[in-house]
Structure 1
Amino acid sequence: MDMSALREINEWMIDGARSAPTPAQMMAESCERAVRAGLPLWRVGVFVRTLHPEIYGRHFFWKPGGEVEVGSVAHDILDSPEFAVSPLSIVFKQGVEVRARLDDPASTRFPIVQDLQAEGVTDYIALPLINTDGPPNASSWTTKQPGGFTEEQLNAIRSITVPLARYIEIVTLRRTATLLLDTYVGNRAGERILGGQIRRGHADTMDAAIWLSDLRGFTALSDRLPAETVVEILNLYFDCQVAAIRDQGGEVLKFMGDGLLAVFPVDEYVGDEAQVCSRVLEAARASRAGVAALQFPNGEAVERFRFGVALHLGRVLYGNIGGGNRLDFTCIGPAVNLAARLEKIAGKLGRTVVASERFAGICEGGWSDLGEFPIAGFAKAERVYGLHDEASRAAAG
C-alpha cells in the first residue's frame, strides 16, 4: 500500500475535501483515492443520523465505477427486524466495530452475509464514526480480495474513519441547523438566519399574499376529547393546509394554537401578483377540501368545527422581532393585522374563505361581495368578498 497516498487522503478530508463540494462527491473521490493507494475496496457505506421529524438517517453507498447512491430511512427502521440483526445496529448502539469474515461460520448470525457472499465479497467490517459529542455514525467496508482484509489494510481503513468522522460531523451540523430552521421557522427565514440575519431589528419589507387561518369549534372539541386525540386531530388539520401552502409556493411562518400564518412572496420586479394570488386561492380550495374530508382517529367525521382562512395582499415587515435574546422570525404590519380581522369576520359570516377587496380585485372570478365591515384599529371599513360556491353553505349555517 502507498502509505503517503493514504496520508494525503486524510489531510485532504481534514482540510474540508475542498475539491468535492458535496458529500456524495467527497465519498466518491476519497474511495477512488483509497483504491489507487492500494486498498482493495468493493462496497463502502456511510450511515449518518439526522435530527429530522421524519427521517432517522441518510446513507451513501459507493462501488467502483458507479455513482454514489444516496438515500434516507424513516424512524421506523429502528423497530424493523432487519435492523435488529444488522451489524450496524451494534455499531449505532454500542459504538464498537463489527467484523464479518465470510469464511467464519460465526458471521452467519448476520443475514447480510448471505447477500455479500452472492456478490463475491470475502470480508466485511462495520466501524463507528465517533463524533466529538453525541452518538456515533457508522461506516461499512467490504472487499473481494481472497482471504479478506489484511491487518495493515484494516488499520488503514481505521485511520481514514477519523478524519471522515470529523468531516461528516461538520457537514451534518450544518445540515441539521438548516433542517431545524426549515422545520421550525420555514425555508426562507432559515436561509436568512443562517446568512447572518440574527440581530433584533434586522427586518426587510416585502409584498406578499397573506394567509391567516383558524379552526372554529376547536375549544369545544378540546373539552370533550382526550388531549392525545386533540393533538392528533390538530396535526391532521395542519397537514391539510401545510402541504397545499407549500405546493403553491407559500411559506408557513407560524402556528398559533389552532391558527396558522403563511405568506406567498410577490416578486415586485416581475409583477406576478395575479399568479401568486391565483396559487393562494388554489391552496385555499385544496385545504378546504382536505379539512372537509378529515376523520377522527376513531373514524367519526369531523363536523363540529370549521376551518376559516382570510386572504389579503399587502406589504409586510419580515424579520427578527422579540425581547432580549429570544427572537422570532415573523412578519408584522397593518396588512397582517387586517388579515387577522378578516378571519374573524369569516367566522361571523360562516364562511370558509374570505378575501380583502385588494386580493379579490387581483384574483378575479368566483367572488361574491359580502359588504363593508368596520375593522377594529382601522380608520375605514373594508369590503369583504367570499367565494360563490360557499353561498348556500353560509346561508344554511
Structure 2
Amino acid sequence: MTAPDQNRPTTLSDGVVDWLTNGTRDERFIDNIFAEMCIRLQQAGIPLKRSTMHVRIQHPQWLGAAFMWLDGMREAKISRVDFDVLERSEFIGSPVSEMLDGASELRENLEGDPSLGRRHAVYDEMRAKGLTDYVAWPLHHTLGKRHLVTFATDRPGGFDDAHLVALKNLLPVLALVSEIRIKNRLARTLLETYVGSHAGELILAGATRRGTGTTVRAAIMICDLRDFTKISDNWPRDDVIDLLNDYFDAMSEPIARHGGEILKFIGDGLLAIFPLSEPGACANLLRAVTEARRAMAALNERNNGTGRAPLNYGIGVHVGDVMYGNIGSSSRLDFTVIGPAVNMASRLEALTKQLGRPVLLSRAFAELVEREFELEHVGKYEVRGFSDAIELFAFHG
C-alpha cells in the first residue's frame, strides 16, 4: 500500500475526501452519499450548483442509472436509463457519450459564444439556467469499467484552478465508494432477478448452507404452456424467445403485483408461491390468475393479428406446507420449495389438459376462497402419486 504523500498541498476537498473514506461506512445507498458529498463540497467553499453521476448497471430492464443533484436538494434525483438510449439524440454527442468513447476530461465554458462550443441540448439547458462552467471526468472501476461524474457552477468566470484541483482530488475515493455500493446493489438485483426478492434477501442474510431451510405454509401455483415442443420445433428461434418472454410477462407481472413470489422458470413453466403469512394470500393468488388470464387473452389477440396460433396453458393450485430452502450439490445450490404440496400442484396442472379446464384448484385451496370467488365443482379424480382421489374445482376468473 502506498504511503500518503506528505508533500501534497491541501485542497478545499480534503475534508470531503476524509468523510468519503471514513464517514460513509454505514450508508448503503450511493445516491445518499452523492447528495451529501455535493453539500459538503459547497460548505468547503466550492461554488457547486449542479452535479451528476452516470453509472452502467447489470439489470434486465435498464442499461444504467443517472443521479442528479442541484443546489438546495437534500437528496439526489435518480433516473433509470433504457437500453435503447444509445440510439437517442439525448445520448449521441452528449458528455456521457464522449466519456464512454474514451475522453479523459471534458470542460465547457458556458459563458462564451454558444456557437463556438460543443453542440448538445444538455449544454443549452445549463446555459439557460445560468450555469457558467462545466467539467466531467471518468470514474474508473475495476476491470476497465468506466462511469462518469460531472460538476457545474454559476460562478462568474467558472471554476478556478483551486476548485478544479479539489474536485479532481475526490475522484479516486469516489470511484471506490461508488463501486462498492453499485456492486452491493448489483448483487441484490441479480438475486432478485434470478431467485426472487424474498429468497434473495435470505441468501444475502447468509442462508447459503446446503440442506438448510424452513417450513412455510403457502398457496402454490404451477403454470405450464401447452404444445411448446411443437411451437419450438416449427417457429424461428427468435420468435420462440419473444413468445416465451411475452407469455412470462403476462403471467409474472400479476403474480408480483399481488404479493406472490416466482421461485423459478422451468422451460415454459413457472412455480410461484403466496405465503399464508401474508393476509389474503389465497385470494391474491386468484386475483393474479384473473389478471394473468386477461393478459394472455390480450396477447393471443395480438398474436392472431400476425397469424400466430393462440397460446394455451394450464394452472394448478394447491395449498400446504413446503420446505423452503437450499437444495443441490456441494457446489451448486437451488433455492426452492419442495414437498407433497408442490407435487400436488404439479399434478393438478397436468390434469388441466385432460379435463379441459385451464385452472384447477384442490379442495384444500378452494375451501379458503369459496366465499369470495365463484368456483365450479369438477369432481373427484385420481392423482398420480397420491393414494386417495382428490376433489377438484375449476376457476374461470
**TM-score calculated relative to the size of structure 1:** 0.91
Aligned equivalent of 2:389, options 361, 366, 381: 381
Cα distance between partner residues in 1 of 2:77 and 2:210 = 42
Structure 1 residue aligned with 2:253 = 243
Aligned equivalent of 1:227, options 231, 237, 254: 237
1:375 aligned counterpart, secondary structure: coil
Deviations 1:55-96 (A, max 9, x none): 111112112212422221111111112211101111123152
Instruction: Structure 2: give runs of 5+ residues left out of the alignment.
Output: 1-8
Q: 1:108 touches 1:114 (CA, 8 Å); kept in 2?
A: no
Q: Does 1:367 align with 2:372?
A: no
Structure 1 residue aligned with 2:283 = 278
Cα 1:80/1:208, change in 2 over 3 Å: same
Cα distance between partner residues in 2 of 1:7 and 1:259 = 56
Of the structure 1 ranges 98-107 and 82-91, higher mean CA displacement relative to structure 2 is found in 98-107
Query: What is the CA-CA distance between 1:353 and the residue it aligns to?
Result: 0.7
Query: What is the CA-CA distance between 1:302 and the residue it aligns to?
Result: 5.2
2:254 aligned counterpart, secondary structure: helix
Q: 1:251 touches 1:264 (CA, 8 Å); kept in 2?
A: yes
Cα 1:343/1:301, change in 2 over 3 Å: farther
**TM-score calculated relative to the size of structure 2:** 0.91
Q: Which amino acid aligns with 2:124?
A: Q
1:72 aligned counterpart, secondary structure: strand
Structure 2 residue aligned with 1:261 = 271
Query: What is the CA-CA distance between 1:48 and the residue it aligns to?
Result: 1.6
Q: Does 1:252 align with 2:262?
A: yes
Cα distance between partner residues in 2 of 1:260 and 1:302 = 23
Query: What is the CA-CA distance between 1:223 and the residue it aligns to?
Result: 2.3
Of the structure 1 ranges 98-107 and 336-345, higher mean CA displacement relative to structure 2 is found in 98-107
Structure 2 residue aligned with 1:65 = 72
Cα distance between partner residues in 2 of 1:37 and 1:178 = 35
Structure 1 residue aligned with 2:322 = 316
Structure 2 residue aligned with 1:40 = 47
Cα distance between partner residues in 2 of 1:5 and 1:20 = 23
Query: What is the CA-CA distance between 1:361 and the residue it aligns to?
Result: 1.1
Aligned equivalent of 1:24, options 31, 34, 38: 31
Q: 1:90 touches 1:96 (CA, 8 Å); kept in 2?
A: no
Cα distance between partner residues in 1 of 2:357 and 2:18 = 64
Cα distance between partner residues in 2 of 1:331 and 1:203 = 9
1:174 aligned counterpart, secondary structure: helix
Deviations 1:274-310 (A, max 9, x none): x211111111111112112214668336544411101
Query: What is the CA-CA distance between 1:327 and the residue it aligns to?
Result: 0.9
Of the structure 1 ranges 238-247 and 3-12, higher mean CA displacement relative to structure 2 is found in 3-12
Of the structure 1 ranges 19-28 and 307-316, higher mean CA displacement relative to structure 2 is found in 19-28
Cα 1:320/1:168, change in 2 over 3 Å: same
1:201 aligned counterpart, secondary structure: coil
Cα distance between partner residues in 2 of 1:8 and 1:70 = 26
Q: 1:95 touches 1:136 (CA, 8 Å); kept in 2?
A: no
Deviations 1:22-58 (A, max 9, x none): 4333222211211121111111111121110111111
Q: Which amino acid aligns with 2:191?
A: L
Paired residues for 1:1-397 under 5 Å = 3=10, 6-15=13-22, 17-18=24-25, 22-67=29-74, 68-94=76-102, 96-102=104-110, 103=112, 106-267=116-277, 272=279, 275-295=280-300, 299-300=305-306, 303-364=309-370, 365-387=373-395, 389=396
Cα distance between partner residues in 2 of 1:4 and 1:85 = 33
Number of residue pairs aligned between Structure 1 and Structure 2: 383
1:254 aligned counterpart, secondary structure: strand
Root-mean-square deviation (CA, aligned residues, Å) is 2.0
Deviations 1:293-339 (A, max 9, x none): 21466833654441110111111111111112111111110000011
2:159 aligned counterpart, secondary structure: coil
2:207 aligned counterpart, secondary structure: coil
Q: 1:341 touches 1:375 (CA, 8 Å); kept in 2?
A: yes
Of the structure 1 ranges 350-359 and 106-115, higher mean CA displacement relative to structure 2 is found in 106-115
Q: 2:197 touches 2:261 (CA, 8 Å); kept in 1?
A: yes
Cα 1:254/1:119, change in 2 over 3 Å: same
Query: What is the CA-CA distance between 1:6 and the residue it aligns to?
Result: 2.0
Query: What is the CA-CA distance between 1:184 and the residue it aligns to?
Result: 0.7
Q: 1:3 touches 1:37 (CA, 8 Å); kept in 2?
A: no
Q: 2:30 touches 2:182 (CA, 8 Å); kept in 1?
A: no
Cα distance between partner residues in 2 of 1:376 and 1:298 = 36
Cα distance between partner residues in 2 of 1:301 and 1:192 = 45
Deviations 1:344-370 (A, max 9, x none): 111111111100110011110422221
2:90 aligned counterpart, secondary structure: helix
Cα distance between partner residues in 2 of 1:212 and 1:154 = 59
Q: 2:216 touches 2:324 (CA, 8 Å); kept in 1?
A: yes
Cα distance between partner residues in 2 of 1:305 and 1:111 = 46
Q: Which amino acid aligns with 1:286?
A: E
